[in-house]
Amino acid sequence: MVAPSASPPLAGSDVPLSGEKAWRIAEGWYAHTAFLLMLGAGPEIVATVATPREFPWMFHLFPALEQVRPLRAGQLEPETLLKLQSSLVFLPRAEAGLQPVLTREGMKTVTLGFQDFAGLLNCLKETEGLVATPLAAQRVQRYSQALQAALTAGGQPTAERPRVLHLPSLKPLQVDGAKTIISQWIEAGGGRNAATVTGNHRPVTAEQIVAWDPDILILGANAGSLESLRRDPVLGQLRAVRARRVFRNPSGVFLWDRYGPELLLQLFWARQVISRGRVDEADMTRRIMAFYREFYGVSLSPAEAARILAAQPPRSR
């Protein structure tokens, strides 16, 4: 499991950066907000596209985010960022066209994105170079070591690997196909991606999913109702549904299954689901608590870890 370090606990994200330059960060990429929090840069965030409604655990564990300026994804306005005195702006690749405009206004602008685990580590290291604190450097080093160990811990490749289909949405019906990090963690977990399409959030018909007839279905945390899937006259006939091999993906600070730091936890969870057909809840609860302590500097109760594992929001304060 991801074990806590034997060294003294590191400062959490409520501690300001200790580097020579304190950034005023505007975050235009949902997932990257989670990376900034992991590296202790939470106090430097002045605006983000992340919201409490979409990421309740992020704002629950880092309540200072409630005070930052909300931004609209895909609609970042230079005037707003200037008023906030933003000095560092992170953009997803889809919004790279904004970079020259923001740079002319004196803001350092960085465009980031990745499609695999190697790209994740590159993104993390580039961010660490900007945050430039001992805390950030230590967490990146530990995370890189833990991720590499997790990726090499899988079983033997075999043609008999179960076919796994990941559904990020039931309405509209979408799947995650090849050349995505979703496909990579499916393979690292001992499965094969049942989808023959390429890319994220690809629209499909129920009939196409029936043709694939996967052995295992994994629903994204916000994909829709599992009960509605079982009642569906078409999808309800899938072998995975009839065999009750449908699993809800956990979700914490960010969605485990997509492009955030909790992909490390996703590897352990996916391996259990794919190879055993069940989740060892006691084991995963321990892993979750260790991960958040090690990489976010926060202490979760067993009950909180269990809610994250079940893709449930935090209880109201």
H-helix or E-strand containing 138? helix 134-151
| Main-chain phi, psi angles of 120, to 5 degrees | -60, -45
* pTM score above 0.75: yes
pLDDT computed for residue 156 by the predictor: 53
Across the chain, where does the E strand assignment appear?
Answer: 25-27, 45-48, 69-70, 88-92, 108-112, 163-167, 174-175, 192-193, 202-203, 216-219, 246-248
Question: Distance between CA 112 and CA 92 in Å, rounded?
Answer: 5
Farthest-apart Cα atoms in the chain, separation: 61
Pure H helices in 26-116 = 30-38, 56-61, 78-83, 99-104
DSSP class of residue 172 equals T
pLDDT computed for residue 4 by the predictor: 37
- Contact status, residue 212 vs residue 192, Cβ threshold 8 Å: no
Question: Distance between CA 1 and CA 159 in Å, rounded?
Answer: 27
pLDDT computed for residue 1 by the predictor: 39
* Residues 305/58/34/115 CA torsion (nearest 10 deg): 70
Mean pLDDT by 10 residues, the chain (317 residues): 35 41 91 97 97 97 96 90 95 90 93 94 97 97 97 69 97 96 96 96 97 97 92 94 96 97 98 95 98 98 98 89
